[in-house]
Chain A
């Protein structure tokens, strides 16, 4: 008489489920070559290239002082928006989200794990970019008092980009998400004050560009880290609005399969 499969169902404790899911999400992300290229290699390469070579007029001061905050913003964009949209789009396509929907892990637990994964990778990216920038002679201003505004900007930027990425992943087909997320990445890289100062664009379209979440993030980080400003309230306000709208739309329109 064997009772190998005798029923004894039950969920694992929530913190254990979320920790396991977060660890799995991070492993999946780090195992994906294209994803690593996008999140780690491209921002680092752009930082080195544009700091070393005078391609774009970045205004007064060292080029790296202008570029480092912009590429920190780009790193947030690549992980929270582009990477998350593409990965989630394919998870939806391959039934991963559907299958997890029948597991004991609640949906909000899955979303918490995804957020944890994004934040962990961002810490990795920001640390790497900071080291490279410092080696290139970056001298950020603001000292310890810059920490709070930087954290606020990163958190709100992550929320806004995650909302937009999940909205895309949860409504479009996986292939469409792949194409659109990369296109948006390139457009925002060029138009969002990452490498090219917003002042270079015609005055007529500048207000539109300034309202983009990437511009709010790059400008806010630059105000704090290059110009030694205090808390950049206007940029935080823009990011907060994007966060609320994008996350609400994602929650409303996301289709799990």
Chain B
């Protein structure tokens, strides 16, 4: 059972008219992991997740979720998964806690509603009609509804969109805890920090395809090109530094007092720079090594910014 992937998309194509929303997407989610599907708006993230939830029928390719076909085996699959839509899903006149309690009643052994209300800070919104909740509160209610049935697999479509930093933190904590307790989590996001902070596995999606996959570390480690920056008094003699540096490493002072060293930054290079500083009586105010972010990775892969 543990060998069956929680989610397996193979060469999935789905067109809306002439436009291919999914253009041969393939990805696998192992049970018990937290997977982020990262990409810009319009990349096909939501469509891919909705294929897994049984909302969309692909034109070709195969979709298996918990070993089941999301459309043919929908009745067997639905009780086992938790779904958080990107928006809506609640009667406009329903109160937050009322709707959560109702969702709980549809499950055999739901989580205690009060616990979720408290964890997600919905207490103050409990008697408020859904349409009067803030965007962040609506998101938190949708998240609570997705997990209240103790699912083994949850799909969260942009779970922190519209949340303030405090609510985002609470959501991240809850998502991490889900994973620790053995729930498989698939979330879509266009936020790099969300993917980097939470995910075991990241699939970068663009144009309806996965363009790169790996752990956040694997994805950001690729390519040794890194940057070392330090600040100190302006006008240091970089000539002697350049002589000390290995071939292919470049030193520059792009702004007075701000120094940038680009190349293969490794511990040896750091030692070279600091010993040069010691020889020349230079005390850097700050010194840091910049590694690539998923944003850099995305930019390199597509030539475009991830943020809309």
Q: Contact residues of A with B, CB < 8 Å? A: 2-12, 16-17, 20-21, 24, 27-28, 31-32, 90-91, 94-96, 98-99, 101-106, 257
Contacts and interface: CB of A to CB of B under 8 A. Distances in A.
Interface in B88-142: 88-94, 98, 102-103, 105-109, 111, 115
A16 B181 CA distance: 28
Contacts of A12: 105-108
Residue picked from A5, A32, A94, A104, most chain B C-beta under 10 Å: A5
B255 to A, nearest CB: 49
Given A9-B108, A11-B108, A99-B88, 14 more contacts: A2-B177, A2-B180, A5-B111, A6-B182, A7-B150, A10-B107, A11-B78, A11-B107, A12-B106, A12-B108, A95-B88, A96-B88, A104-B78, A104-B106
Contacts of B79: 9-11, 104
A100 to B, nearest CB: 8
The 6 A-B pairs at the shortest CB distance, nearest first, are namely A95-B88, A99-B89, A10-B108, A7-B152, A102-B83, A5-B181
Residue picked from A2, A17, A32, A104, most chain B C-beta under 10 Å: A104
Given A9-B150, A103-B103, A106-B75, A28 B91 contact: yes
A3 B107 CA distance: 18
Given A98-B89, A99-B83, A4 B53 contact: no
* A contact face: mostly helix, strand, loop, or mixed: loop
A9 B152 contact: yes
Nearest to B147: A5
Residue picked from A8, A27, A28, A102, most chain B C-beta under 10 Å: A102
A98 B93 contact: no
Given A17-B105, A20-B102, A98-B55, A5 B91 contact: no
A8 to B, nearest CB: 4
Residue picked from A4, A11, A27, most chain B C-beta under 10 Å: A4
B151 interface: yes
A95 B106 contact: no
A90 B98 CA distance: 19
Nearest to A91: B91
Contacts of B151: 7, 9
B54 interface: yes
A101 B93 contact: no
A28 B93 contact: yes
Contacts of B88: 94-96, 98-99
B36 interface: no
Contact of B90 (A4, A20, A21, A96): A96
5 contacts: A2-B180, A6-B182, A11-B107, A12-B107, A94-B89
B308 to A, nearest CB: 22
Contacts of A11: 78-79, 106-108
Contacts of B180: 2
